Amino acid sequence: MFVWSNKFETKIDLVDRQHKTLFDLMNKLSNLLKSGSSSQNELSGALSLLIHYTKTHLHDEELLMQDSRIDGRFFSRHRMEHSSFLYDVDRFNEITSPDDDANTDRIEKIVRFIAFWLIYHILGTDQFMAEQIALIKSGMSPERAFETTKEQKLDPIIVKMMLDAVMNLWIDAKNTCSKLETKCSKLETKCRELENKCKGLEDKGKELEHKIQSVLVETIDVDSDFKSFEMFK
């Protein structure tokens, strides 16, 4: 369960509404996963909806920044964060498995990745965005608004929440890495087995080659013996 906190609020109506909807979608999918009785179609449908809504939200946020004439340095960095996140989500989602359990496990990992990334992003980058937009609206230049928010210190509770999100992302990444390591070592063992089998086949091939050669030599000998016999006739 991903719990909404007032610390996530940006005081921008559109952004807050969309962030809350994202939390709803993540929790719905999380509940479907927990129930254990949802079909793969239901799970995949809920995941597609979450990914689609995430993309729409990030795009809307970028349009909002452009409309608010936010500083170009901040806009580029913020947009890059969005693109790199979406690239990871798409790559994660491209990996499909015919095995239902593995597919459920994959969907759970994607939801956790989206949730913890969003929590970290909303508490950090999105709050800086909201503060700059408020300052620009109050008459400050975008450049000055960027410089002002850059120097502001974060609330310790927010820092703690951001660290928790990063920690969860790190633990998930670590678990995925160790699972991949186990898969790699299993594949290595299979490769070695195949190599040994190939070597065995190669040896058998050579044995057969020798046998064929000796049969050919014997045939040639019989041939020449027969010719010699013919000459004496």
List residues near Fe ion by CB under 5 A: 61, 126
Nearer to Fe ion, 43 or 115 (CB): 115
For the chain, the farthest-separated pair of C-alpha atoms sits apart, in whole angstroms, at 123
CB of 126 to Fe ion, least distance (A): 5
d(CA 145, CA 11): 17
Nearer to Fe ion, 8 or 43 (CB): 8
Nearer to Fe ion, 16 or 126 (CB): 126
d(CA 87, CA 97): 20
Nearer to Fe ion, 61 or 71 (CB): 61
CB of 103 to Fe ion, least distance (A): 29
Nearer to Fe ion, 108 or 131 (CB): 131
CB of 171 to Fe ion, least distance (A): 23
What distances in angstroms separate CA 173 from CA 177, 179, 184, one per listed residue? Answer: 6, 10, 16
CB of 79 to Fe ion, least distance (A): 9
CB of 163 to Fe ion, least distance (A): 19
